[in-house]
Amino acid sequence: MFANSFKRTQRFNELILKSHMDAQMRAASLGREKVIDGTVGSLTMGGELVTFPSVDRLIPALDVKKISAYTPIQGSGPFLDAMETLCFETCKPSRKIGRVAVAGANSGIHHTICNYTEPGDIVLTSDWFWSSYEPIVREHGRRLGLFTFFQERRFSLESFQESVNSVAQLQENIAVILNTPGHNPTGYSISEDEWGRIVRYLNSLKRRIILVIDAAYIDYAPPEYKHMFSKLNRLNDNTLVIVAYSISKSLAKYGLRTAALFALHRKQEIIDEFERVLSITNQATYGCPPSLGQYLTAALVANGRALADYYQAKRAVIEMLAQRAAVLAEAVDDYLLTPYRHGFFVSVRTDRGELLVEKLRREDIFLVPVHGGVRIAICSLEREQILKLGRAIMQHI
């Protein structure tokens, strides 16, 4: 074995894409209509990936020389301006904003963890979480700490406070990742009222907090959910907010690996430090982030007509997702489902998720087990498939 002593013992455990491949292989042998694939977090209709024509049409017009060239390590200015516009819309924070382009929100979270926590630190998130957080924190010798996400189907401020308080006894910086709105894998969106209470609590602490908002699905919640940024304006200087915002889901350009990280704080020196340390990590990993996604995003925001068409198409997708979630709620008892509000996923609560997934596979239904249950990617399922899958869940759970 040649890998270093830490890596030698690690297993590559990427269940989502692997289960998706299994489903595709099954569909190739049985016929697509016989297989239900609720594994992967990409929007599909009739088995085809959904993209936005208003965005796609801009690609052939991009300057080939520009999209082939390197961009600055921190990202191009027009791209970062465009990402600010798309992410915050009318709710631009009234504080200083640091900006760095990254190759996907995935690396944005990775870069944040490696710059703002120490080896051995605990990084907090909810007990339902996107499975990649685990390898991301482990890669740099950090650990994931979990607080209970829900109390009676609402955000459990109590558990959040308890976990933050206990981590505060152990380490200098307290890093917390909150994935909202449209949380993966539950579909929960933290409400404005809940944000108000989170902010009041964080302001009461005399500790440095790194509040990472993983906003990967923010554009699949109604625009008023962006009011959370106004609540965050009330945070005192002990908290640095870092927002991860990506074109993967927002523009349905998953493979272009393009995202931005925003740092929100009142002090310029904190913003300067953020841009400096994040640029170093870009330089030390992939160099500059991919060019194509940066030019495409800037072109979209510069084109008023295309932008309006995109917003209109996205409103229809939000409506479609709400309908799919409602169909699932018809088929599966309410108490078994996580409290869905928006986004691509809902989960079934069970402590025997792997067993349920196994039983469903025998009926050619492919889902992914997660901590706490089984994730259903409603983003990739049609009404009839959701009904069939719901009935199968009720039979096997």
The correct pick among 38, 75, 93, 104 for binding ligand PLP (CB under 6 A) is 104
Pair 79, 101: CB distance under 8 Å: yes
The correct pick among 175, 202, 211, 216 for binding ligand PLP (CB under 6 A) is 216
219 contacts ligand PLP (rule: CB under 6 A): no
With respect to ligand PLP, which residue has the nearer C-beta, 16 or 322? Answer: 16
Q: Would you say how long the chain is, in residues?
A: 397
Pair 121, 143: CB distance under 8 Å: yes
Return d(Cα 264, Cα 241) in angstroms, integer: 5
With respect to ligand PLP, which residue has the nearer C-beta, 254 or 397? Answer: 254
Pair 247, 253: CB distance under 8 Å: yes
Shortest CB 259 distance to ligand PLP, Å:
5
Shortest CB 302 distance to ligand PLP, Å:
22
Angstrom distances, CA of residue 90 to CA of 178, 223, 299, 334: 22, 9, 20, 35
- Sorted by sequence, the CB contacts under 8 Å of residue 363 that are 6+ apart come out as 392
Total interface residues for ligand PLP by CB under 6 A:
13
* Count of helix runs (H) and strand runs (E) in the chain: 16, 16
x/- binding map, residues 234-263, to ligand PLP, per CB under 6 A? ------------x-x-----x----x----
The correct pick among 37, 121, 214, 219 for binding ligand PLP (CB under 6 A) is 214
Near ligand PLP by CB under 6 A, which window of 102-110, 262-270, 295-303, 350-358?
102-110
Segment 265-304, which members bind ligand PLP (CB under 6 A)?
A: none
Return d(Cα 208, Cα 186) in angstroms, integer: 29
**Residue 289 has what DSSP assignment?**
P
Shortest CB 374 distance to ligand PLP, Å:
16
Shortest CB 351 distance to ligand PLP, Å:
23
The CB-nearest residue to ligand PLP is 104
Tokens 């088929």 sit on residue = 331
- Sorted by sequence, the CB contacts under 8 Å of residue 190 that are 6+ apart come out as 155, 178, 180, 181, 198, 228
CA angle 292, 101, 342 (to 5 degrees): 90
Shortest CB 182 distance to ligand PLP, Å:
9
Near ligand PLP by CB under 6 A, which window of 99-107, 110-118, 226-234, 325-333?
99-107
In 3D, which of 295, 249, 245 has the Cα closest to residue 107?
245
Q: Which residues bind ligand PLP (CB under 6 A)?
A: 41, 104-106, 130, 179, 184, 214, 216, 246, 248, 254, 259
